[in-house]
Structure 1
Amino acid sequence: MKLISNTVLLDGRRVLLGKRSKGRQTYPGCWALPGGHIEAGETPLEAAIRELHEEIGVLASDLQLLDDFQTDSVNAARFYIFATRSWVGEPLLIGDEHSEIGWFDIEQALTLENLALDGYRHSFRKIQTLGFSQ
């Protein structure tokens, strides 16, 4: 099973999402949280920090584990979802994994039809419930 770390960057009540490029094998054209595969010998937290730097050029700190869930599809994976309000750098589109990035109000993110994973909705609801978005 694949292990994947994603991170919710929080700016007030907004979350950053990346639209996966149409050529991606999984979830093409869908909005997703920045993140990726956990490499051998890496913790989920280390992977989250590395992936944020590789994908959007920010150096994040004070990440807190928000959620974890498993998908049961052909592409079964376990996802670790972190959240942070602390990073250095302006999020930028780096590489070709995403065709665009954008900030979404949490309520707007909850209703996106082309959100890559329903598990993200659960994470966004936890942000609201736990007061992360204050």
Structure 2
Amino acid sequence: MLLCHRSAGRRWYPDVWDLPGGHVEEGEDPKESLVRELREELGITASEPSSPPMHEIRTATFDMQIWLIDRWTGTPVNAAPDEHDAVAWFETSDLDSLRLAHESYLSMLTAVLVT
């Protein structure tokens, strides 16, 4: 699982491991946003997902749709050092020791990695 570490100085969710991705721009489809954000944050090119999101998180302040991306072109790098101070790959056994951005990530990521 590829995760991005949010810089300690970030206003929202500082100093935690998070999924790559970001905000949907006005008039932008969430799938288009995902492709754009992966290009901006990781320097990779992914196709728009053809399936529905694998998970959704809704709070009073945001709605997040999460897709599993398992094919892309390019090599993931930290292309947004102003947002993240690290990008790293993790195995299931690593996840328990990480400070994750959202409490539901651990069970969701574990389920994805064991299938």
Question: Is the counterpart of residue 68 in structure 1 residue 59 in structure 2?
Answer: no
Identity of aligned residues (%): 36
Q: Which deviates further from its counterpart, 50-59 or 116-125?
A: 116-125
- Structure with a larger share of its residues in strand: 1
Match of 1:85 among 54, 70, 81: 70
Q: Aligned partners of 1:85 and 1:107: how far apart in 2?
A: 20
Q: Aligned partners of 1:121 and 1:69: how far apart in 2?
A: 13
Question: Is the counterpart of residue 119 in structure 1 residue 104 in structure 2?
Answer: yes
Question: Is the counterpart of residue 26 in structure 1 residue 12 in structure 2?
Answer: yes
SS in 2 for 1:50: helix
Deviation, structure 1 residue 113:
4.1
Which consecutive unaligned segments of at least 5 residues does structure 1 have? Answer: 1-14
Is the Cα–Cα contact under 8 Å of residues 8 and 14 in structure 2 kept in the other structure? yes
Which consecutive unaligned segments of at least 5 residues does structure 2 have? Answer: none
After TM superposition, where is structure 1 displaced by more than 3 Å over at least 4 residues in a row? Answer: none
TM-score normalized by structure 2? Answer: 0.87
Deviation, structure 1 residue 26:
0.8
SS in 2 for 1:59: coil
Aligned CA RMSD, in angstroms, stands at 1.7
Matched with 2:28 is 42
The number of residues matched between the two structures is 112
Is the Cα–Cα contact under 8 Å of residues 81 and 123 in structure 1 kept in the other structure? no
